[in-house]
Amino acid sequence: MADLVCENLGMTFTNPQTGAKVEALRDINFTLGKGEILAVLGPSGCGKTTLLNVIAGFIPPTSGRVRLGDKVIEGPGLDRGMVFQQGALFEWLSVARNVDYGPRMRGMDPEETARLVEKWLDIVGLQGFGDTPTYQLSGGMQQRVALARCLINEPEVILMDEPLGALDALTREKMQSLVLEIWKETGKTIMIITHSVEEALLLGERLFVMAPRPGRIHKEYRLPFADRGVNESLREIKHDPYFIEVREEILTMIWDMEEEIMGRV
Amino acid sequence: MFEWLSDNRATIAAVLFVLVFAAFVWSIVVGRRQSRLRAKNEVFGDPARTRGGWYWSVTGVTALVLLWGYFSWGIVRAYFPNSANEMCQVAKLEEAVSPIKAALPIGARYYKSTLLAVRNAAQLDELQAELPALPFTAAEKEDLDLLVRDIRKLIANSSNPDNMSEEARDRLAGISARLIDLGGVLRAGPTGDMTPSPEALAQPKWGTGVPEIPILPVTTRGVLFDTVSVTAAEIAGEFNKIRNHVPQNEVLMADIAARIKAFKEANKAGSFDERTADAREAYVKAVERIFKRLDDGLIFPAAALANVNSAIQDLDAASRSAQGGLRVVDALFMPGPGIVKSRTQCTEQGSARWLPKPTDVVATFARLANPDVENGGGYRGFPLLWWDWVPVADIVAFFIPDWIADIWPGEYAAHGPDGTINPKFKDKLLAFAQGDVDLGSVPMLDGHIWDSLFRVLVALAAGIFLGVPLGLFMGVSRFFKSFFDPLIELYRPVPPLAWAPLILTIFGIGDNGKIFLLFMVAFAIMVISARTGASGVQLSKIRAAHSLGANDRQIMWTVIFPNALPEILTGIRIAVGVCWGTLVAAEMLAGTTGIGFIENIARTVSDYELIWVTILIMGILGLVFDLGMRWLIRKTIPWRGMG
């Protein structure tokens, strides 16, 4: 386990045909300590997903670098697990086959793998669903599979790209509890991108609000709600006066940013 | 058993048509009831409205069979098995009187005499109009003009009833009287002695022999018409011999002939330049031609023929009344011009000529499907679909090319001083490659259908195994896409048959050329479908696989390939259909086996039953293939459209 460090991270996209340049990220600097949970908020187009893709190693940054401990990130790796918005499950495989995809690709002992699958399905609340085809699952269950599939590889960092965006309110709340639970129990470093301010407040021990053009960290918060959420009811936390105050502050901030974008366009 | 079925096909068809009609009515009743029930639950446009409804399939299929039976005359043969034979006898009478009718308004709108008079007069008019411009002297022109006028007089004399000879008058009256008598015979109906001959009764039934329709009458009504037609033929023969030689014309004709002769001699004697001589000669010849046409007494006064015309009308009426119910059968159940007798046989006309009856198609199919080639089964000494013992060595030789032995190190053995040979390994290898070893035999499918299937399946397999990987690589690699795209897109749009002549030249008329042609078709389809499937993978799935630690090869086969599977299977489904269509065309070009080959031979000999049998075989095989592919798609990719 090691810290996730972004150093002077910058990302400029160049259109290969026209040569036009778009600066998506500029001077991103932060250190995410091991076991921390970070939520990233921001108006659409502020570079949240680009930041995540750079950290995941899907796209190389044009300046600066990302380190996990002493290792500079140069591509996707098992130390960083990804959870996508729609799950990105392999719908031709059963739940168990999806979950053990990573171990299978690495050629892990099948018995050991089967044991791990059992364990993780149990943790995400899908015991007994191993043989179910994934296309028969509901959205919430699909995200549980995606979580288990990611966790079975024991990554140091879990990167989540709007993982709960497509779920209904009730399922979403359950999944938020599950994420907190997993965070506490496994002690993984988690970075979660969301466009729901409430979700960011509930899950983010740390919270970045990003500003667009170029994408940069606008403001950083340290919040107590994630810690409380492990034991308390999430619904009660939402009525906490401090929670409401921060929520309104961030909403206004993002609102203004959006206004500014519209004004510029 | 088969003989019995074949001989009684009309009766069997009668039973089957009742069943088919019952199923048709029943399915409509059920369908209407179901529609009423379901209309309440499903609004218009609800996809659930297309589910189920097999009863309408029954309606469609039975309607098709009934239409087929109707237009092929299968229904009329089933329920009125003797009608064709009787119609044939009626057709005999029709054929017998046709020479008389051809000369009368009843058969040709105008009297033949009218046409002759008008046509000759018109040609004489033309000749007269040409005359002033021709190189004749004024005196000659005057003479020629007179000559033409006299020829015209011949027509007038023939057309005048008063000039007609007693003899011709009597003979025409005799013809009318005999025709009226004949009508009386028909009206009287069959007499006691009009029974079918044993020979007639021994004929094969309608549709079971050659010719298709038995020609000798098998019913009393048929015998009546047959008898009458013989007399009618005699009358017609006599009618054709009557000539109207008018006495007034005889002197005139001799005179005209002499004048024409004089002109001819004058033409020969005179020393004209070539063009003038030709023009003069041509004109005199034209005059002579019309004159010769008029000297055979074929123009009768219209009034003299009126009686014959009404006698024929009377005979037709008598024939209609003698036919009775047969006319109803003809009108209702024999679409088309009915049955026509020509020379030695009666033939079905209209749709029945090219549309074989359902039972005949089954019988032809059964004959083809009979694997006993020695006793008339199969087609051209080859069964339709059967099995045979095939030496394993031949199969091995199919897979091992000769050049494997050629490139093996060393030389082939030569015979030694004692004249014997001591084979080395290289020789044994060659024996394997050429199938010269005994490895026992295995049963293998055989026959025309199998040959066609084999070609399609081999080509399809090759297309899949080469096309799918290439397509997948084209879906993920810029190099593969850009390198192969123009090559494939250049040859793909060319219709496969455009390649056929080239491929026949390169590969010869054997299986290889056809398989290669089909392979080209299947390959392009498979490449394109696999490529579409591969390039349609969601990026997030690829990224998930990357972050789960899969390498490029693993991602190819565990993510991109299964993701492309729906497109690939759809591609196979399309390729099967297109290959099947191309195959038949390819087999029509060359070869000695296969469904397309049968169809091609059937086409050249106009064997409509065989053509339809091959069409049905192809249709059914195509349907089976498609149903199989649909089943496979349902079983292998249940997740389709759910990702």
- The per-residue pLDDT for B224 is 94
Contact B540 A76 (CB under 8 A): no
- The per-residue pLDDT for A151 is 87
Q: Cβ of A65: how many Cβ atoms within 10 Å?
A: 15
| Contact pairs from chain A to chain B, CB under 8 Å | 72
- For residue A148, give both structure tokens: 């288990």
> What's the rounded Cα separation, in Å, for the pair A131 and A113?
15
Is the bond preceding residue B132 a cis peptide, omega within 30 degrees? no
Chain B residues touching residue A91 (CB < 8 angstroms): 639, 642-643
What is the distance in angstroms between the Cα of B468 and the nearest Cα belonging to chain A? 19
| A72: β partners | A67
- What confidence tens digit (pLDDT) does each residue in A54-104 have? 988 888 888 888 888 888 888 888 888 889 887 788 888 888 888 889 888
> Coil, helix or strand for B380?
coil
- The per-residue pLDDT for B56 is 93
Chain B residues touching residue A133 (CB < 8 angstroms): 638-639
Q: Which of B71, B101, B121 is the last residue of a domain?
A: B71
Nearest Cα to B297, choosing from B507, B464, B154? B154
> What's the rounded Cα separation, in Å, for the pair B179 and B97?
10
Say whether residue A105 is in contact with chain B using an 8 A CB cutoff: yes
**Residues 6 or more apart from B547 whose CB is under 8 A from it?**
A56, A57, A76, A77, A78, A80, A81, A82, A150
Question: Is there a domain that residue B374 lies in?
Answer: no
What does each C-alpha distance from B583 to A81, B383, B514, B599 come to in angstroms?
52, 19, 7, 12
Q: List for chain B the helix, strand, coil content (%; round to 5).
A: 75, 5, 25
| B348: β partners | B339
Question: Is there a domain that residue B366 lies in?
Answer: no
Say if residue B563 is in the same domain as residue B524: yes
What is Dmax (Cα atoms) for chain B? 121
> What's the rounded Cα separation, in Å, for the pair B522 and A154?
46
- For residue B416, give both structure tokens: 């030694």
Nearest Cα to B115, choosing from B60, B155, B165? B155
Contact B538 A133 (CB under 8 A): no
Question: Is there a domain that residue B357 lies in?
Answer: no
CB A203 within 8 A of CB A226: yes
Specify the CATH number for the domain of residue B466.
1.10.3720.10
Contact A88 B538 (CB under 8 A): yes
For residue A166, is pLDDT > 80? no
Chain A residues touching residue B562 (CB < 8 angstroms): 90, 92-93
Question: Is there a domain that residue B263 lies in?
Answer: yes
> What's the rounded Cα separation, in Å, for the pair A74 and A218?
26
> What's the rounded Cα separation, in Å, for the pair B230 and B217?
13
CB B513 within 8 A of CB B568: no
- What confidence tens digit (pLDDT) does each residue in B372-431 have? 878 777 888 788 888 888 888 888 888 888 888 888 888 888 888 888 888 888 888 888
Give the best residue of A90, A106, A108, A142 to mutate against chain B (max B CB count within 10 A). A90
The CA radius of gyration of chain A, in Å to the nearest whole number, is: 19
Domain ranges for chain A:
4-79+159-264, 87-154
- What confidence tens digit (pLDDT) does each residue in B206-231 have? 888 778 899 999 999 999 999 999 99
> What's the rounded Cα separation, in Å, for the pair B552 and B556?
6
How many residues belong to chain B?
643
Contact A102 B563 (CB under 8 A): no
Chain B residues touching residue A93 (CB < 8 angstroms): 562
> Coil, helix or strand for B592?
coil
Candidates B549, B563, B642; nearest CB to A106: B549
What is the distance in angstroms between the Cα of B457 and the nearest Cα belonging to chain A? 27
Regions of chain B short of the pLDDT cut 70: 641-643
HSE at residue B227, side-chain half, CA atoms within 13 A, is 19
Say whether residue A76 is in contact with chain B using an 8 A CB cutoff: yes
DSSP state of A73: P
Q: Angle at the Cα of B303 (from B298 to B307), degrees rounded to 5?
A: 95
Question: Is there a domain that residue B606 lies in?
Answer: yes
Say if residue B278 is in the same domain as residue B187: yes
Give the best residue of A52, A83, A92 to mutate against chain B (max B CB count within 10 A). A92
Say if residue B226 is in the same domain as residue B315: yes
> What's the rounded Cα separation, in Å, for the pair B493 and A251?
58
Measured between CA atoms, the residue of chain B closest to residue A94 is: B639
Contact B638 A133 (CB under 8 A): yes
Provide the domain limits for residue B207: 83-348
Say if residue B434 is in the same domain as residue B451: no
Percent of chain A residues past pLDDT 90, beyond the cut: 1
Question: Is there a domain that residue B372 lies in?
Answer: no
Say if residue B105 is in the same domain as residue B27: no
Show which of residues 192-231 on chain A sit within 8 Å of chain B, judged by CB atoms.
none
- The per-residue pLDDT for A174 is 85
- The per-residue pLDDT for B479 is 92
> What's the rounded Cα separation, in Å, for the pair B181 and B191?
15
CATH 3.40.50.1110 fits A4-79+159-264, yes or no: no
- The per-residue pLDDT for A264 is 59
- The per-residue pLDDT for B438 is 81
**Alpha helices (runs of H) in B270-414, residue ranges in sequence order:** 274-294, 302-323, 325-333, 351-354, 358-369, 392-399, 402-407
Question: Is there a domain that residue B383 lies in?
Answer: no
Q: Angle at the Cα of A200 (from A196 to A203), degrees rounded to 5?
A: 135
Say if residue B433 is in the same domain as residue B484: no
Contact A86 B547 (CB under 8 A): no
Say if residue B410 is in the same domain as residue B286: no
Chain A residues touching residue B548 (CB < 8 angstroms): 78, 81, 101-102, 105, 149-150, 153
Say if residue B168 is in the same domain as residue B133: yes
Say if residue B462 is in the same domain as residue B545: yes
Contact A56 B543 (CB under 8 A): yes
What does each C-alpha distance from B491 to A15, B279, B485, B496, B525 come to in angstroms?
34, 64, 10, 9, 12
DSSP state of A23: E
Contact A105 B541 (CB under 8 A): no
Nearest Cα to B455, choosing from B579, B574, B577, B613? B579
Chain A residues touching residue B633 (CB < 8 angstroms): none
Say whether residue A255 is in contact with chain B using an 8 A CB cutoff: no
Chain A residues touching residue B538 (CB < 8 angstroms): 88
DSSP secondary structure string, B169-210? HHHHHHHHHHHHHHHHHHHH---TT----HHHHTSPPTTTSS
Say if residue B213 is in the same domain as residue B274: yes
Say if residue B599 is in the same domain as residue B533: yes
Rounded to 5 degrees, φ, ψ at A115 are: -65, -45
CB A194 within 8 A of CB A162: yes
Contact A91 B643 (CB under 8 A): yes
Q: Which of B71, B97, B117 is the last residue of a domain?
A: B71
Q: Which of B35, B50, B71 is the last residue of a domain?
A: B71
Chain A residues touching residue B546 (CB < 8 angstroms): 58, 76
Number of domains in chain B: 4
What is the distance in angstroms between the Cα of B478 and the nearest Cα belonging to chain A? 14
> What's the rounded Cα separation, in Å, for the pair B374 and B381?
7
HSE at residue B182, side-chain half, CA atoms within 13 A, is 30
> What's the rounded Cα separation, in Å, for the pair B514 and B312?
62
Candidates A91, A133, A149; nearest CB to B548: A149
- The per-residue pLDDT for B472 is 93
Question: Is there a domain that residue B385 lies in?
Answer: no
Does the pTM surpass 0.80? The reply is no
Say whether residue A172 is in contact with chain B using an 8 A CB cutoff: no
| A28: β partners | A9
